[in-house]
């Protein structure tokens, strides 16, 4: 009999962000294939009887290809094993889960997707940034700072014009180029933004600035996520950060009034 593949989201790093279903599958797994970004604390929850393999792909390092991972998932399931494919964040958001689903479907392998807390949600929670706000931003867009070779990148001008909060995965370390790209797309220099590195882990670091000052921001280690939009200024009011938020956004006085009114309500 064929086995089954579970595409499981591990969340941004904190093991307490795992879903109960994800935890149950890890404790019952026969074999776990995990991304390089899955934390040691989460891997420590895997059954001692399970075989665990790192199939992570990191930029600039030799690693197993996606085609090889797809083949491995199919071969292991066809041998009768129940396999947990453990991915950081959510399996279907910038995690190539869609490619693995296609391969499994074509091969006739049974699979199930177990969602996880994606990086944008973990990073926003860590920095106390409300990604949407009924008075400021009615939408949030998840996009990648990189696009696959030969593929057209997202139209950042349209995204900026929508007024949505932008949550940018894999922003890279060229903050000057990132700022120029945003400014070219029509975003204002005084728009607040935040870089969050290793969200929800012991190595977590957060830097808040503006798009205009982004080139001078401290370089944070990967994995990192970049959030840009007026909602970032509200986070400074709520968190009591030492960052001088009065320089971040012209909306700040209204935001302070809103917070005060909410506290009195």
User: Closest by alpha carbon to 239, among 253, 221, 259?
Assistant: 259
35 catalytic per annotation: yes
As a whole number of angstroms, the distance between CA 225 and CA 199 comes to: 8
pLDDT the model gives residue 216 = 95
Strand ranges (E), 106-241: 110-114, 140-144, 165-169, 192-197, 205-210, 224-228
User: Of residues 162 and 243, which shows the higher confidence score?
Assistant: 162
Do the Cβ atoms of 31 and 54 come closer than 8 Å?
no
Fold of 4-114: Cobalt-precorrin-4 Transmethylase; domain 1 (3.40.1010)
As a whole number of angstroms, the distance between CA 178 and CA 17 comes to: 30
Q: Which of 14, 35, 87, 90 is catalytic?
A: 35
Where exactly does CATH 3.30.950.10 map onto the chain? 119-264
Where exactly does CATH 3.40.1010.10 map onto the chain? 4-114
Q: Which of 2, 4, 21, 57 is catalytic?
A: 57
* pLDDT tens digits along 102-128: 999 999 999 999 999 999 999 999 999
Return the residue matching tokens 């506290």.
263
157 catalytic per annotation: no
- pTM of the predicted protein model: 0.84
* pLDDT tens digits along 168-195: 999 999 999 999 999 999 999 999 999 9
Do the Cβ atoms of 158 and 183 come closer than 8 Å?
no
- The structural architecture, per CATH, of the domain 119-264 is 2-Layer Sandwich (3.30)
pLDDT the model gives residue 80 = 95
As a whole number of angstroms, the distance between CA 248 and CA 194 comes to: 11
pLDDT the model gives residue 83 = 97
């Amino acid at each position: 009999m064929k086995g089954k593949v579970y595409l499981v989201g591990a969340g941004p790093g904190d093991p307490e962000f795992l879903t109960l279903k994800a935890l149950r599958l890890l404790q019952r797994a026969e074999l776990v294939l995990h991304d390089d970004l899955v934390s040691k604390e989460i891997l420590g929850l895997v059954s001692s009887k399970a075989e665990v393999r790192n199939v992570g792909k990191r930029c600039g390092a030799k690693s197993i290809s996606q085609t090889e991972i797809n083949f491995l998932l199919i071969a292991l399931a066809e041998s009768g094993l129940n396999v947990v494919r453990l991915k950081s964040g959510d399996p279907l958001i910038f995690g190539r889960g869609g490619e693995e689903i296609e391969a499994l479907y074509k091969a006739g392998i049974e699979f199930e997707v177990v969602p996880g807390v994606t990086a944008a949600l973990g990073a926003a929670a860590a920095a106390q940034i409300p990604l949407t706000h009924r008075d400021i931003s009615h939408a949030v867009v998840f996009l990648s700072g990189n696009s696959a070779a030969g593929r057209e990148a997202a139209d950042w001008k349209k995204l900026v014009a929508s007024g949505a909060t932008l949550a940018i995965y894999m922003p890279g370390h060229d903050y000057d180029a990132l700022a120029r790209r945003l400014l070219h797309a029509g975003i204002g220099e005084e728009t607040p933004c935040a870089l969050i590195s290793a969200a929800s882990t012991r190595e977590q670091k957060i830097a808040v600035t503006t798009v205009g000052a982004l080139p001078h921001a401290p370089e944070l280690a990967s994995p990192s996520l970049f959030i840009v939009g007026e909602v970032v200024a509200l986070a400074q009011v709520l968190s009591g950060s030492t960052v001088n938020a009065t320089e971040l956004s012209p909306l700040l006085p209204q935001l302070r009034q809103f917070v005060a009114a909410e506290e009195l309500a």
